[in-house]
């Protein structure tokens, strides 16, 4: 647990970078610090490992005031990842990863073993082990940066915009893998970003900071979206927060209903009968798993090449966003709902999803 208690940082030139910050980064959670440039995110992060000194207030790690610890020992116990990875250009990848074990004086074989294992963990081929950083792509370097931070298995990680220097596609996959890794490792992480989408995607708790170094709101992502504390937070989250908010509303309340279906291998008569006036019919296999949409318009030929893709399906356990994505991708504008085993439950159209949202929104106030 990392606790800030009325922490203020005033630089020598008088700039107040952080002003009376109080928050708790809980164990095993990702706490995101987000805010515009210059709002004091990096300063806050670096005060935790004492690479910047606090002016007033205290920061404690697991209840112990960091001012009373040895700075070097503290740093070796807290992993650190920065934007451009900051890898050592003169060391091979495996040696870069083994930096903290090396500083701690582990024997070479053990450090190397740990480093190679971590390469696989973060999705790097061990064939890259003997390369130098300059021979890796930006995304690969960033993975090395994460592996290096994890090498001595520290309980805490500090990450300063670790994914913002790579292109959006790579960033997305780095984020996904980071979440998967965190699920396995359960580290206590303080993560800095200026990207609200990243904050919402990754954070268990999100601290929105504003210029001047004050805390505007500290809350889980869903609460941030549904109840922004003030205009600054609302503005920072942006106009499309409605769509973002869909990610936090469950799909279980949607008015899912029956619609015409046929089984794979049905005769033309069956199809005509089932379809009625509809111009598409949903095809299910023998286990009642949806297979695809069949356009009918006069013909009732059910040959597989005439099937249209199903798009994505959703389960009631997923979110409104999954349902809406499914509806938008479907040729009929209907999202297909399945149960946990993938069996057909019913459909819901995007019009019905929008209606549901409005009533739900009115109820929520």
Ligand X SMILES: Nc1ncnc2c1ncn2[C@@H]1O[C@H](COP(=O)(O)OP(=O)(O)OP(=O)(O)O)[C@@H](O)[C@H]1O
Give the footprint of another protein on this chain (CB under 8 A). Answer: 46, 49, 51, 72-76, 80, 82-91, 99-100, 103, 132, 134-135, 145, 148, 158
Residue 155 contact among Mg ion, another protein, ligand X, none, beta carbon within 5 to 8 Å by kind: none
The least distance separating ligand X from the CB of residue 4, rounded to whole angstroms, comes to 14
Q: How many residues bind Mg ion (CB under 5 A)?
A: 1
- The alpha carbons of the chain give a radius of gyration, in whole angstroms, of 26
- State yes or no: residue 11 binds ligand X (CB under 6 A): yes
Q: Among 316, 340, 312, which Cα is nearest to 327's?
A: 312
Q: Judged by CB under 6 A, which of 1, 10, 38, 223 binds ligand X?
A: 38
Q: How far is CA 105 from CA 16, 70, 102, 115, 362, in A?
A: 39, 17, 5, 14, 61
Query: Cβ closer to Mg ion: 42 or 49?
Result: 42
Residue 43 contact among ligand X, another protein, Mg ion, none, beta carbon within 5 to 8 Å by kind: ligand X
Please say whether the beta carbons of 260 and 272 come within 8 A: no
6 phi, psi to nearest 5 deg? 40, 55
The least distance separating another protein from the CB of residue 59, rounded to whole angstroms, comes to 15
Residue 15 contact among Mg ion, ligand X, another protein, none, beta carbon within 5 to 8 Å by kind: ligand X
Q: Judged by CB under 6 A, which of 2, 31, 42, 283 binds ligand X?
A: 42
Q: Judged by CB under 5 A, which of 31, 42, 330, 332 binds Mg ion?
A: 42
Query: Cβ closer to ligand X: 16 or 264?
Result: 16
Query: Cβ closer to ligand X: 195 or 355?
Result: 195
Q: Among 158, 161, 170, 149, which Cα is nearest to 195's?
A: 161
- Name the token pair of 255: 């008015």
Residues forming a β-bridge with 101: none
- State yes or no: residue 50 binds ligand X (CB under 6 A): no
- State yes or no: residue 17 binds ligand X (CB under 6 A): yes
Please say whether the beta carbons of 269 and 291 come within 8 A: no
Residue 17 contact among another protein, ligand X, Mg ion, none, beta carbon within 5 to 8 Å by kind: ligand X
Q: Could you say which DSSP state residue 250 is in?
A: B
Q: Among 240, 239, 200, which Cα is nearest to 222's?
A: 200
The least distance separating ligand X from the CB of residue 43, rounded to whole angstroms, comes to 3
The least distance separating Mg ion from the CB of residue 207, rounded to whole angstroms, comes to 14
- Name the token pair of 223: 């609460």
- The widest CA-to-CA distance across the chain, in whole angstroms, is 84
Question: Which residue of the chain is nearest Mg ion when measured via CB?
Answer: 42
Query: Cβ closer to ligand X: 39 or 300?
Result: 39
Q: How many residues bind ligand X (CB under 6 A)?
A: 12
- State yes or no: residue 86 binds ligand X (CB under 6 A): no
- State yes or no: residue 43 binds Mg ion (CB under 5 A): no
Please say whether the beta carbons of 253 and 356 come within 8 A: yes
Question: Distance between CA atoms of 74 and 185, rounded to whole angstroms?
Answer: 20
Q: Could you say which DSSP state residue 257 is in?
A: B
The least distance separating ligand X from the CB of residue 82, rounded to whole angstroms, comes to 10
- State yes or no: residue 53 binds ligand X (CB under 6 A): no
Q: How far is CA 240 from CA 222, 254, 327, in A?
A: 14, 22, 19
Residues forming a β-bridge with 290: 284
Question: Which stretches of the chain bind ligand X, using CB under 6 A?
Answer: 11, 13, 15, 17, 37-43, 194
């Amino acid at each position: 647990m990392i606790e800030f208690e009325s922490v203020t940082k005033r630089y020598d030139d008088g700039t107040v970078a952080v002003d009376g910050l109080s928050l708790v980064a809980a164990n095993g959670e990702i706490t995101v610090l987000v805010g515009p440039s210059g709002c004091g995110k990096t300063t806050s992060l670096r005060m935790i490992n004492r690479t910047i000194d606090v002016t007033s207030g205290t920061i404690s790690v697991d209840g112990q005031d960091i001012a009373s610890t040895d700075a070097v020992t503290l740093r070796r116990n807290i992993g650190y990842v920065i934007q451009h990875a900051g890898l050592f250009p003169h060391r091979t990848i495996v040696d870069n990863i083994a930096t903290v074990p090396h500083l701690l004086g582990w024997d070479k074989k053990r450090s190397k073993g740990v480093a190679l294992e971590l390469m696989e963990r973060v999705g790097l081929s061990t064939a890259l082990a003997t390369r130098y950083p300059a021979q890796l792509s930006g995304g690969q370097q960033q993975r090395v940066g994460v592996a290096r931070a994890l090498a001595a298995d520290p309980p805490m990680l500090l990450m300063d915009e670790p994914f913002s220097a790579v292109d959006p596609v790579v960033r997305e996959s780095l984020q996904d893998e980071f979440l998967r890794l965190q699920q396995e490792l359960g580290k206590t992480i303080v993560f800095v970003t200026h990207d609200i989408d990243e904050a919402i995607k990754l954070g268990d708790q999100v601290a929105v900071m504003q210029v001047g170094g004050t805390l505007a709101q500290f809350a889980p992502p869903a609460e941030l979206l549904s109840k922004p504390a003030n205009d600054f937070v609302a503005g920072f989250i942006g106009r499309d927060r409605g769509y973002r908010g869909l990610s936090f509303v469950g799909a279980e309340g949607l008015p899912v209903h029956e619609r015409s279906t046929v089984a794979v291998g049905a005769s033309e008569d069956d199809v005509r009968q089932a379809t009625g006036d509809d111009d598409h019919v949903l095809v299910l296999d023998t286990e009642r798993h949806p297979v695809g949409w069949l356009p009918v318009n006069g013909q009732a030929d059910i040959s597989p090449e005439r099937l249209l893709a199903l798009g994505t399906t959703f389960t009631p356990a997923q979110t409104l966003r999954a349902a809406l994505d499914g509806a938008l991708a479907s040729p009929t504008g209907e999202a297909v709902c399945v149960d946990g085993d993938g069996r057909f439950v019913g459909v819901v159209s995007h019009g019905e999803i929008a209606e549901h949202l409005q009533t739900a929104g009115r109820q929520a106030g």
